[in-house]
Structure 1
Amino acid sequence: MMDETDIRKAQQGDREAFIRLFRQLEPEMYGLSKSILKQDADCADAIQEATLKAFKSIAGLKQPQYFKTWVLRIVINECNQILRNRKRMVIMADVPEPDQLSCSAGDDIGSDIREMVSRLDDKLRIVTELFYFHDLSVKQIAQVLDISETAVRTRLHRARNRLMKSYANSQEGDLNYGSI
């Protein structure tokens, strides 16, 4: 939970309080932007722009308890802007980035699930990331994405169904039903 005292101090111009808040949110901002943009350089750009925009407009934040949701919304908007700009560019060479997922030997299922989530279409993937990996509530996700709570629940339901089917398909090779 974000310290509302720091939020109020940041709204009054306290740079140290602002820095403390953003250091807390930095891992989530990076994870969210990475799930949308995939490339570290683009993630850094999105986070930098989001931080600058938040710093300039934090005084206008009306409800400090929604600071985290507000910041994540700014990050998503910046990521979407980068994606729009990327579509306009003519790509000279598409050099794939090495996979940045770090996983330990005992984390194969977790990395498999993350991989399956990364293959979902954007609308389902973003909602799933926010709900499961960033611990936002349905209400917060609706606010961040500016959609209804019903739309969030529907997307989560569709994502779960697709993930279950994908997981079942990946396990089929391990099962032998011929003897049943």
Structure 2
Amino acid sequence: MLRPDASKAEWREWALAVRKDLPDHSQALTEHLRAFLRQQGARRVLAYHALGGEPDVSGLQSDFELLTTRTRFKPERHLTLHPYETATEVSRAGYLQPPKDAPQVALDTVDAVLLPGLAYDLRGVRLGYGGGFYDRLLPGFAGLKIGVVYAPLLLSALPGEAHDVRADWVATERGVVASGD
């Protein structure tokens, strides 16, 4: 484990090294998410297409209307939302995303957002990949923000900054827990 004052880059390197050796517990994690989302009354859920080593949440498609993102770089970096099944192109980062002309969906129609991350802490601080896309997308979002990560990557504390959007909940293969200070 790294020292608490390690840089985000050092934490990212550490989390990637840990994640590569973890077994795939996507099915158990998805079952916990399914039960939690139903309990919360969520219908429309912004999800993601997993990169290697990330929990695969695509099993939620049969129970919820899933959406996904397209990464846009011009005129500024941002994400747009689209139906999950439209993701047919490989992005710069290697995950599936919708093509440029896929129909868009407004964020204010979304009940819950599943946030991929390299690691989370118990306060909901997300260690992402460094692009800041979700930090730009989610300020002011009124729905559920749920971090998704394997249990060994849910830590007591991570470095965070004032602009970082925090998850309200964190889901692992062991269950869904509320985050907070």
TM range (shorter): under 0.3
TM-score by length of 2: 0.23
TM-score by length of 1: 0.24
Bigger-Rg structure (1/2): 1
Q: Which structure shows the bigger proportion of residues in strand conformation? A: 2
